[in-house]
Structure 1
Amino acid sequence: MSRGFVKEDDQEETPLVPPRADLPEGVTNYVTQNGMAELLAEKKAMIGEKSAIEASTEQEKRIAFNFMNAKIRLLEDRIASSKIVALDEQPKNEIRFGATVTLQIGKSTKILTYQIVGVDEADIAKSKISFISPIAKVLIGKKTGEKAILKRAKKDSIFEVMEINYLVSTRPSTYFKG
């Protein structure tokens, strides 16, 4: 039967699901081992959240289930497209994906440390920047002592690479299978 013959009260709203972090078309979805563990933990948490859904009406419950299923599908697509980068195989003297980089900004004494990670791992509060961010793009390929220039509208930012590390987490991997 066509939707035109369904009572208005019986129609369910299609839940709007916020998109995941932007990954441009054609760009490989690189992740660190920790990033993959976080994605899998997020999936496990969502499945648990879905099974705990309580609603006052059957319609509210169906809408909540549809919303969670859509979020889980987006996450599963992201997981399926992920390519784990082994940090211990990266060149130790050059900035690449996964590097933790210590930078001096211009002539100031201000020092910043960032790790270059996947789009889902990026969190500036944790000093993790996406590999597709402008600053990561100018840093990739640089070596200790080299400078990277980030072109900005009013004034360019100059970063000197002070140190490069590839810290492999010692945290045990917790993978959810299913």
Structure 2
Amino acid sequence: MNKVPMTVGGFQSLKEELRWRQQEERPRIIEAISEARAHGDLSENAEYHAAKEQQSLNEGRVGELEDLIARAEVIDVSKLSGDRVKFGATVVIIDEDTEEKKRYQIVGDQEADVKSGRISISSPIARALIGKGVGDAIEVNAPGGARGYEIVDVSFG
């Protein structure tokens, strides 16, 4: 059983989603199924079939969340330090072509959200950054072609 790295915040959000799906969403769906059943013939009851599909999707996600939580390797980023990029690091890079600065935190796959500056540890840019330090240049093979970046800052916490 391989561990899934994630930050404390990512672990908490998974636990909150699991709680919501089990304690709020599951009873709501069960109520919708009961209500749809009361309408009679189930073979042509669209509400019933839609509620059953919602139930299936919800239970599938509950199983997925339980698995992720069981395999979670929670890493407290505030306790990390160093001058090399590793999981949890916040990295500032400059695009060598456009001089544009970008700031990313390297997080677990489940927490990744590029819009808020969190990239997955398994993304091409994160893999290129791991083990590097300030002043190092990296090249990332992106869908639009190879891009060059220079690391200008590495911090934790």
State the TM-score, normalizing by the size of structure 1: 0.71
8 Å contact kept, 1:90–1:96:
no
Say whether 1:166 aligns with 2:156: yes
C-alpha distance in structure 1 between counterparts of 2:60 and 2:139, whole Å? 41
Shift in CA distance, 42/152, structure 1 to aligned 2, threshold 3 Å: closer
C-alpha displacement at 1:129, in angstroms?
0.6
Say whether 1:45 aligns with 2:20: yes
Shift in CA distance, 152/51, structure 1 to aligned 2, threshold 3 Å: closer
**Any residues of structure 2 matched to 1:1-178 within 5 Å, and which?**
28-47=3-22, 48-53=24-29, 54-55=32-33, 56-58=35-37, 60=48, 61-152=51-142, 155-167=145-157
Unaligned runs of 5+ in 1: 1-25, 168-178
Q: What RMSD in Å do the two structures reach over aligned CA positions? A: 2.1
C-alpha displacement at 1:156, in angstroms?
2.3
C-alpha displacement at 1:122, in angstroms?
0.3
More helix by share: 2
C-alpha distance in structure 2 between counterparts of 1:150 and 1:102, whole Å? 15
- Percent identical residues: 25
- 1:23 counterpart residue number: none
C-alpha distance in structure 2 between counterparts of 1:40 and 1:126, whole Å? 20
C-alpha distance in structure 1 between counterparts of 2:97 and 2:147, whole Å? 10
C-alpha displacement at 1:149, in angstroms?
1.3
Equivalent pairs counted in the alignment come to 142
State the TM-score, normalizing by the size of structure 2: 0.80
Q: Partner letter of residue 83 of structure 1?
A: E
C-alpha displacement at 1:148, in angstroms?
1.2
Shift in CA distance, 66/105, structure 1 to aligned 2, threshold 3 Å: same
Q: Partner letter of residue 93 of structure 1?
A: D
- 1:7 counterpart residue number: none
Relative to structure 2, which stretch is displaced further, 73-82 or 55-64? 55-64
Q: Partner letter of residue 39 of structure 1?
A: L
C-alpha displacement at 1:106, in angstroms?
0.7
SS in 2 for 1:114: strand
